[in-house]
Amino acid sequence: MARKTFFSFHYQEDVWRVFNVRNCLVVSNDQAADGFFDGSVFEASQKEGDEALKTFLRNGLKNTSVTCVLAGQYTAARRWVRYEIVRSVLKGNGLLTVDIHDLKNNAKELGVKGQDPLAEVGVYLSSGKIYFAEFKDGKWVKYSDYAAAIPASDLWFDAPTSDNKVVKLSEHCVRYDFVAQNGRENIAGWIETAAGLAGH
């Protein structure tokens, strides 16, 4: 049975590119067709309000062990992508970024490479407690969609030790380029590497 993976992405901008990635996983010879779980909310649940959407996303992450952030030009700043990343850390999922800007959208257009979403979310130590931070308006601020302290034991990577110094999640995760690094053949291996880094 293939590893169940949650895909986090910017639906309106990149859904066509995402389907290209997911299709190659499903038809890959060494992966079961039902082994990859597409956990994107497609942002439809937003109509029900923030709490309903958060519940939907948490449920989407159930039974997954890796979260693969499929990054386009605008993905890093998306509120719900950041929430999926934070909940993935809390769940203990392995994390990786795969840049998909060089795949064509439905208009046959290539995208522009964006920031690594895992470099825009981090953790920091304050008064002996660990919290999430996000990069917003040019500076690091406390992450507002999950403000509680995080037990160090919940992290699969080393907890921060310097007060108020943000450690980006990207420092513990690998970033790939789907086109330049032949993701069609290699993404299943990248997912396994992320799982291994998180101890799965």
Residue 10 within any structural domain of the chain: yes
Asked if 166 and 143 touch (Cβ cutoff 8 Å), the reply is no
Asked if 97 and 176 touch (Cβ cutoff 8 Å), the reply is yes
C-alpha count within 13 angstroms, C-beta hemisphere, residue 59: 8
Spatial separation of the C-alpha atoms in residues 36 and 45, rounded to whole Å: 21
Spatial separation of the C-alpha atoms in residues 100 and 143, rounded to whole Å: 26
Residue 141 within any structural domain of the chain: no
Tell me which residue has tokens 């386009």. Answer: 72
**Domain total in the chain:** 1
Residue 126 within any structural domain of the chain: no
Q: Please tell me which residue, 11 or 97, carries the higher pLDDT value.
A: 97
Residue 131 within any structural domain of the chain: no
Residue 52: which domain range?
5-115+170-197
Give the global pTM: 0.90
Residue 135 within any structural domain of the chain: no
Q: So what's the pLDDT on residue 51?
A: 87
Q: What is the DSSP letter of 164?
A: T
Q: How far is CA 17 from CA 12, 99, 174, in A?
A: 11, 10, 20
Token couple for 184: 């069609």
Asked if 37 and 6 touch (Cβ cutoff 8 Å), the reply is yes
Q: To 10 degrees, what angle do helices 11-27 and 183-197 make? A: 90
Residue 130 within any structural domain of the chain: no
Residue 110 within any structural domain of the chain: yes
Percent of the chain, pLDDT > 70? 88
Residue 62 within any structural domain of the chain: yes
Asked if 85 and 69 touch (Cβ cutoff 8 Å), the reply is yes
Lowest mean pLDDT among 62-66, 138-142, 152-156: 62-66
Query: Mean pLDDT over residues 17-42, rounded?
Result: 57
46 pLDDT band (50/70/90 cuts)? low
Tell me the CATH number at 110.
3.40.50.450
